[in-house]
Amino acid sequence: MHISKRDVPDAAGATDAAPTHMPARRGHGMVLKDSEIDYRDLTEFGRITIERSGFDVYITVDGFRFEDVTTGRQQVAKAFAWGRDMLAAKLEALRLVPGGGVVAVSGITQDDLDIERLARREAS
């Protein structure tokens, strides 16, 4: 996915659009519903990378796997939704408890996680 800073309004509501020779991008005709970006079917965590270059921001998604995905766009949207929720939880943890952390865990039950944490505490 590519987001241009030119497309993002500043505090005054104006865009930072420099003259460009590129034609305007057309939007996709399909709007994804909330149910289509539900990521409860996440089977494998991946990576979301955000890079900035000049006026442009590039967001790359790779490695995420979901059981119920019909398009690449839906897969990216599900990964973004997961990332959005993880970042929101991390921000809230930092806001409430300085230094607080949030860990995303997959493939382990809460009981197994509690046993692992107890073993780690006893070992230290």
Instruction: Quote the CA–CA distance of 36 and 32 in Å, as a whole number.
Output: 6
Reported as half-sphere exposure (CB side, CA atoms, 13 A), residue 66 has a value of 22
Instruction: Quote the CA–CA distance of 115 and 111 in Å, as a whole number.
Output: 6
Percent of the chain with pLDDT over 90: 35
Place of tokens 């995420």: 64
- Give the predicted TM-score (pTM) of the model: 0.58
pLDDT score for 109: 81
Instruction: Quote the CA–CA distance of 113 and 108 in Å, as a whole number.
Output: 7
* Predicted confidence band of residue 110 (pLDDT cuts 50, 70, 90): confident
Please write the tens of the pLDDT for every residue from 36-82: 889 999 999 899 999 998 889 999 999 999 999 989 999 999 999 99
pLDDT of residue 19 exceeding 50, the answer is no
